[in-house]
Amino acid sequence: MRIISGKNKGRIIKAPDNLPVRPTTDMAKEALFNILENRYYINKKKVLDLFSGTGNIAFEFASRGAVNITAVDQHFHCCNFITKTATKLNYKIDVRKMECLDFLEKTKATFDIIFADPPYEFKHYEKLKNIILTKELVNQDGCLIMEHDANAKFDGENMDLRKYGSVHFSIFTL
């Protein structure tokens, strides 16, 4: 796992082998952030990283200057790794150890960019999307990005599908 750009560009981050994760590939992450940087000034955005795993996406946002980042994962070891790595890199990331759907149901916060990367076998993609959109957790002119494989399908007027190998991003703009 490597940070693509920003203040820690090129920095390699080695996650423990025992984490139950599938980090976003560098190729897909670089393409996604090219899209985001063409649309937004990341350093002014409030970001939520759901199913954060290794913190790969949260670290990329932090390296690029985002100052308000929340990372949510239900696994203790993932949260511990994100917290320790963020401290080493001098990133301020609010790490929450919770099940992501529970976090969404309880939060009153809103975000400019929400990135969700559930396990590909996750059965509740629609529920996840609907909670976020129904509760209006994405600020106006923001976006929800869902990472998934080819089996998950989304429709929508304001949805853009991008494919990078086996990684698919459905980007919902508001």
Could you tell me the pTM of the whole model? 0.94
CATH number of the domain enclosing 133: 3.40.50.150
Query: Which of 13-17, 78-82, 108-112 shows the lowest mean pLDDT across its residues?
Result: 13-17
Number of domains present in the structure of the chain: 1
Neighbours of 80 (CB within 10 A): 14
**What single string gives the DSSP state of each residue in 82-119?**
HHHHHHHHT--EEEEES-HHHHHHH----EEEEEE---
Full residue range of the structural domain in which residue 105 is found: 26-173
Looking at residue 141, its amino acid is D
Query: Residue 79 above 90 pLDDT?
Result: yes
Residues 6+ apart with CB under 8 A from 78: 19, 20, 21, 52, 53, 54, 55
